[in-house]
Amino acid sequence: MSIARISAVSLRHIYLIRNNPSRLASVFLWLLVDVTLWGFISKYLGSMGQATFSFTTVILGAIILWEFVTRVQQGMMTGFLEDVWSQNFINYFASPLRLSEYLGGTVLTSLATGLLGFLMVIVVAAVAFGYDILVIGILLVPSMAILFVFGISMGVVVSALIFRLGPTAEWLGWPIPLVLSLFSGVFYPVGTLPSALQLVARIIPASYVFESVRAVVSGHSLSTAILFQLLIAAVLALFYLASAYFLFLHVYRRNLENGSIVQFSAESF
């Protein structure tokens, strides 16, 4: 793979954001709204009764991490959609650009926007609600790495679905993070779910991450059991990433063979 070509793809998407500031709304506005909303909800819940733990610490931290996953997934998806909307996708592959390099460029853009959004919300959470993300401790680094890989996997899968079903299928990608949050233990422990749904949660890497983070912020020490949970999450996330890439590659080759790729050309719009 060529680092220069990967950087060029990423740079194009950065120029799109820079030249149209309204695109920043998708990166920062919803993050700010969600974190502020859940910050006030957490403060309200903490003021009721005699809670033995901080709702702000438990809930707001989970929301910040899940919003990071969501921004990464949607950043990956919107990067692909930008090329579809601008009728530019096929033009890429008139050049020596490889599919892996194209995806690598969108991953770089998603990483940049995801980290910028993450930094913004932890500052807002600290100033407005007194929340310190460092309460998670050293677990923050592997947790974010696993969630990033999982978010990229979701973004690639959604892009593959749009690529297979056509541009009108973009609506499939927006609710996916919300649906997966039901099984990921973001707002509540996985044990709260019915037994059948717990089985679904066990194949989602994020569920292991949030269970581990919840245990640490609730006062448990960083044990071997928690590290093992993170290992399972990392293996699942990498497996899904590899599977997502091969799915996109399969769809790309299928579209080339049957001519469906022409629906992404300028003439089809």
pLDDT at 134 > cutoff 90: no
CB 57 within 8 A of CB 135: yes
Q: Identify the pLDDT of residue 131.
A: 83
Of the candidates 39, 29, 37, 31, the residue with the CA atom closest to the CA atom of residue 129: 39
The winner for highest mean pLDDT among 27-41, 42-56, 62-76, 225-239 is: 225-239
103-131: b (≥16 Cβ within 10 Å) or e: bbbbbbbbbbbbeebbeebbebbeeebeb
User: Could you list the residue range(s) of the whole structural domain that residue 209 is in?
Assistant: 3-268
Provide mean pLDDT across the span 109-121. Answer: 87
Instruction: Report pLDDT digits (tens) over 204-239.
Output: 999 999 999 888 887 777 788 889 999 999 999 999
118 contacts: CB under 8 Å, gap ≥ 6: 64, 67, 68, 71, 144
- In this structure, is the dihedral angle defined by the CA atoms of residues 8, 171, 73 and 33, taken in order, positive or negative? positive
Split into its structural domains, the chain has a count of 1
pLDDT at 263 > cutoff 80: no
CB atoms within 10 A of CB 210: 27
Query: pLDDT exceeding 90 applies to what percent of the chain?
Result: 22
Name the residue type at position 75.
G
Predicted TM-score (pTM) of this structure: 0.88
Q: What is the CA radius of gyration of the chain?
A: 20
More confident residue, 51 or 100: 100
pLDDT at 247 > cutoff 70: yes
136 contacts: CB under 8 Å, gap ≥ 6: 61, 143, 213, 216, 217
Q: Identify the pLDDT of residue 75.
A: 85
Q: Identify the pLDDT of residue 55.
A: 67
Q: Identify the pLDDT of residue 144.
A: 92
Query: Would you place residue 269 in the very low, low, confident or very high pLDDT band (cuts 50, 70, 90)?
Result: very low
